Structure 1
């Protein structure tokens, strides 16, 4: 027998006073995520809210957050302290320890209730591991509480539970391509490095992919672990750790400004080239309008480099110094990027 929904309970015995419509409205088809939420509400409507000691509730066995978010927790604490707990948690009976529970969602609410020493309101449902991780993922997707890397790790957890790709990308709110990019990162960067970096709320997929590229070099993973443990990096925020690590692996000063792309202009101010720094090296792209200069530079580059070595420039450049320019005899600017 199907469980009654909240709306059906509210509307039972109440006749509609609205006049009949001449033309029925077109039925809107809800999205997969909204439809799933509706089914979840219908299920929970038939459950009663229990009061549980927070000390009896253990975390979900499937971690989705890398570290404690103090700011978000403080905001929620103020709200619950003033208005009480308005949204129940969802828990299941602990599969191994009688009398205890495991959390499906509501971990920040649970933290706050422990701080305030208040009982927790919770729905108790018998959930398999697969069902629990789906409930957890739907809650996270709806509340936008996870950073990009946390969502990528959670997608990996769901995949490990045997959920099909379509279920995963619908649950965490990405498309097929987005899920593929997440896999490329979390399957390449070791878990211990990700957890050392942390949530990285300001770092999205393109920067994580840059780190993947930087770690492809032999010995880079071991070096990255050492960098993250250094005094210079370990005391920084999560975002700063990420940026510092990436710059160090790319041969830049970890605290120096990120060079990114640099426009090279002639003495008259005309753009002649663009210098781009990547994890694999520096790329000098000469403007198409300067094709003659490009041909000249290609021919002269061996001689320019020989002159560079003769003049002892290798002893004066280091990893802290930015790209510099050297004027040839005819006044043409030749760009020498940092090693």
Structure 2
């Protein structure tokens, strides 16, 4: 089970926010000074502050492939009408009077469209705890798609986060993390960004697309297939368009290899002598009797001996000696 390092907020911005987690208790100082310090820490950790949005840095690892989309506009309109119901979470920055976002990137983006301050819980968390909080909150509020989780896992691993932190951030087992990583390693990042999050498209479908990427130039195929679609086409439909185009291209390549090529061998006077047909399985030499009846009869009488002689010549040229 993943560690739940904070009280999870409800899944909808229209709901009331859950109280923020209580801070870890520190040793009390003797007398009223220690009690006052503990009280101030508890108030600070559990209070919701109004912070100017330009004082918050949106850094850290990507957990979404698309942030500025139509859903941000919808969320901004909801906040404009009803106010911000669920706070974001930030942590103090190394720079004075600035903060780094932990979770709530969509809400922050929406409020920047609306204008004004953002309600935020301020917590002092290290990188590992911040990452776990970010992953857990996103899993509850808007479940990331398979490929978004895969890309997030890839970035966490490349950034040096330990396996147990990655598992806790997404609530996955070690095998679950491996299943996501295996697929995303076979996909060009450019292809994933062209398609988008594709909610509802699971591991098997992305795995099939990854297999296609090993056979054909899928990025070029995707660009061509997506160019004909409207800009607001849902990413799940974009995935299907790319998959169908890639499958058709792969089938065409197989058919072409199966058909192979056929060459007409001609004499010096231009008269056809024979045809040579080559495909992935065989090489066939065909002599049409009606065009060269005497030559056809001559070859028929000498075919076996001629082929053996050619085979011996091939062995001599490759130096096998046998």
Q: TM-score range by the shorter chain?
A: 0.5 to 0.7
CA contact (8 A) 1:93 1:101 kept: yes
**Runs of 5+ unmatched residues, structure 1:** 1-30, 254-276, 282-304, 307-339
Q: Which has the higher contact order (CA 8 A, sep 6+)?
A: 2
CA contact (8 A) 1:152 1:186 kept: yes
Alignment of 1:250-269 (within 5 A): 250-251=247-248
Alignment of 1:177-196 (within 5 A): 177-196=175-194
Counterpart secondary structure, 2:6: helix
Alignment of 1:240-319 (within 5 A): 240-251=237-248
Matched, 1:61 2:60: yes
Deviations 1:15-46 (A, max 9, x none): xxxxxxxxxxxxxxxx544x433597123965
Deviation at 1:138, TM superposition (A): 1.5
| Equivalence for 1:325 | none
CA contact (8 A) 1:54 1:114 kept: yes
Deviation at 1:110, TM superposition (A): 0.8
CA distance in 2, matches of 1:154, 1:247: 26
Counterpart secondary structure, 1:82: helix
**Runs of 5+ unmatched residues, structure 2:** 9-19, 25-41, 256-280, 283-322
Q: 1:111 aligns with which of 84, 109, 116?
A: 109
| Equivalence for 2:76 | 77
Deviation at 1:78, TM superposition (A): 4.1
1:38/1:106 Cα in 2 relative to 1: closer, same or farther (>3 Å)?
Answer: closer
Deviation at 1:239, TM superposition (A): 1.9
Normalised by the length of structure 1, the TM-score is 0.57
Deviation at 1:120, TM superposition (A): 0.8
CA distance in 1, matches of 2:188, 2:254: 20
Aligned length: 224
CA contact (8 A) 1:234 1:241 kept: no
Deviation at 1:224, TM superposition (A): 1.8
Normalised by the length of structure 2, the TM-score is 0.60
1:32/1:129 Cα in 2 relative to 1: closer, same or farther (>3 Å)?
Answer: closer
CA distance in 1, matches of 2:164, 2:57: 29
CA distance in 1, matches of 2:188, 2:230: 18
| Equivalence for 1:23 | none
CA distance in 2, matches of 1:196, 1:41: 39
Matched, 1:36 2:5: yes
1:214/1:234 Cα in 2 relative to 1: closer, same or farther (>3 Å)?
Answer: farther
Deviation at 1:189, TM superposition (A): 1.0
CA contact (8 A) 1:77 1:112 kept: yes
CA distance in 2, matches of 1:84, 1:144: 20
Deviation at 1:216, TM superposition (A): 1.8
1:41/1:143 Cα in 2 relative to 1: closer, same or farther (>3 Å)?
Answer: same
Counterpart secondary structure, 2:175: helix
CA distance in 1, matches of 2:187, 2:150: 12
CA contact (8 A) 2:132 2:170 kept: no
1:109/1:280 Cα in 2 relative to 1: closer, same or farther (>3 Å)?
Answer: farther
Alignment of 1:8-27 (within 5 A): none
Deviation at 1:139, TM superposition (A): 0.9
| Equivalence for 1:163 | 161
Deviation at 1:156, TM superposition (A): 2.0
| Equivalence for 1:145 | 143
Q: CA-atom RMSD, angstroms?
A: 3.3
